């Protein structure tokens, strides 16, 4: 089995940054980490003192490189996966939007074809379905035409045919029928996640007991503190701080959440329970100033300004144009988070949330999903399962 050795890297481990250290790869796995490893037959990559991190894991994105996962082609998946790999992402969960029912069969079909064809992009080990079971009050950029309550007649055919392809499903747990929906997901090892929800804290307590353990794009599309009949009642946002067991994800583009709020999440919830995501739409990795959110057939027109996508009337963001290297950079440079913690939120934490037991860490036996970057977190090399898929 072919060996590759990456020499003289500043290796980011869960405990420290190991300076001037070698990492030996054998096939798709990490074999050893030490200084001055002897491997005369191995191909050598000189890290030249750059940082070597586990590959970034993006649990929530809709596309990139001019493509959306709802476009109805395998090429859309492949091109988006290639685009994000150039920014250090080695694992991603393609994410849907609330849509017409007739778009879903094509999406599942083309996803499977893309996974079989994928050789030079980020891995796509499962799908994230976002909607259509949402609160109308917290819909954000989700198309109101397709929003509905969870109904077994709607979701059971999807689960029976394609449940093995789905890693997580985001929904508003206060809606009628959510308890049965959560049971159906857990029976297939699918993570129920709270999203576009107008729930109160008491609703989230019940939802957690039902299996909703994760909060989708924290702060975005969810209720906060409200005063009702003179009494203050916490919402979904406060639930993320109150509970020690809920995990959250944040769109770390510096726009969806300003650096001050990202700092609050870091201090109040911490890197062990917070994952960085991009929530990227098709314009990520491009210079486009106008784009579509959703599929080519049913997508909504959006504007791209100031490093974020907007609805045309600018009443709400319509997804980000971020990449994971930008998310890590934002946390380090704008929020002031230590590099090791920022990397953890982009690697080990999302791996734990999704149950990826062999990803998110540089250690013997783990997957050789790696990214090499400099002090400015500019990516120069991305490896997926021991293969170089991007090199600058």
- At residue 57's C-alpha, the angle toward residues 54 and 63, to 5°, is 140
In the chain, which residues have pLDDT < 70?
141
At 315 the pLDDT is 81
> Which residues, in sequence order, are CB contacts of 248 under 8 Å at separation 6+?
214, 215, 218, 240, 265, 269, 273, 274, 275
At 141 the pLDDT is 66
- Using one digit for the tens of pLDDT, what is the confidence trace for 161-186? 999 999 999 999 999 999 999 999 99
Mind listing the domains of the chain with CATH numbers? 3-52+377-391 (2.30.40.10), 56-357 (3.20.20.140)
Burial of 388 (0-12, 13-18, 19+ CB in 10 A): middle
At 1 the pLDDT is 80
- Using one digit for the tens of pLDDT, what is the confidence trace for 99-129? 777 788 999 999 999 999 999 999 999 999 9
At 390 the pLDDT is 98
- b/e 254-292 (16+ beta carbons within 10 angstroms → b): bbbbebeebbebbeebebebbbbbbbbbbbbbeebeebb
At 132 the pLDDT is 94
Report yes or no on whether pTM surpasses 0.95.
yes
């Amino acid at each position: 089995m072919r060996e590759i050795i990456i020499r003289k890297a500043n290796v980011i481990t869960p405990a420290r940054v190991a300076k001037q250290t070698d990492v030996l790869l054998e096939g798709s796995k990490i074999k050893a980490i030490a200084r001055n490893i002897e491997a005369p037959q191995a191909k050598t990559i000189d890290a030249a003192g750059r940082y070597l991190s586990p590959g970034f894991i993006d649990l929530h994105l809709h596309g990139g490189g001019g493509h959306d996962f709802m476009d109805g082609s395998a090429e859309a998946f492949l091109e988006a996966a290639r685009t994000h790999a150039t920014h250090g992402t080695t694992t991603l969960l393609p994410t849907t939007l609330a849509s017409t029912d007739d778009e879903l069969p094509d999406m599942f079909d083309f996803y499977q074809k893309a996974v079989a064809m994928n050789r030079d992009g980020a891995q796509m080990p499962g799908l994230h379905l976002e909607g259509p079971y949402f609160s109308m009050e917290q819909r954000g950029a989700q198309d109101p035409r397709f929003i509905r309550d969870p109904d077994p007649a709607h979701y059971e055919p999807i689960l029976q045919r394609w449940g093995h392809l789905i890693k997580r499903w985001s929904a508003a747990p206060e809606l009628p029928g959510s308890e049965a929906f959560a049971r159906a997901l857990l029976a297939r090892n699918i993570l129920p996640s709270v999203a576009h929800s107008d729930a109160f804290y008491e609703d989230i307590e019940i939802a957690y007991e039902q299996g909703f353990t994760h909060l989708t794009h924290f702060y975005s599309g969810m209720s906060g503190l409200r005063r009702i009949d003179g009494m203050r009642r916490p919402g979904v946002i406060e639930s993320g701080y109150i509970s020690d067991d809920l995990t959250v994800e944040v769109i770390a583009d510096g726009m969806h959440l300003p650096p001050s709020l990202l700092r609050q999440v870091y201090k109040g919830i911490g890197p062990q329970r917070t994952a960085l995501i991009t929530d990227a739409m098709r314009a990520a990795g491009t210079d486009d100033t106008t784009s579509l959110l959703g599929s080519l057939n049913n997508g909504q027109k959006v504007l791209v300004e100031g490093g974020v996508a907007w609805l045309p009337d600018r009443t709400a963001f319509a997804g980000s144009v971020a990449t994971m290297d930008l998310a890590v950079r934002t946390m380090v440079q704008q929020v002031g988070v230590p590099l090791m913690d920022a990397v953890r939120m982009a690697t080990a934490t999302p791996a734990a949330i999704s149950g990826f037991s062999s990803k998110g860490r540089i250690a013997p036996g783990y997957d050789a999903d790696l990214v090499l970057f400099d002090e400015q977190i500019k990516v120069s090399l991305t490896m997926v399962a021991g293969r170089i898929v991007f090199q600058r």
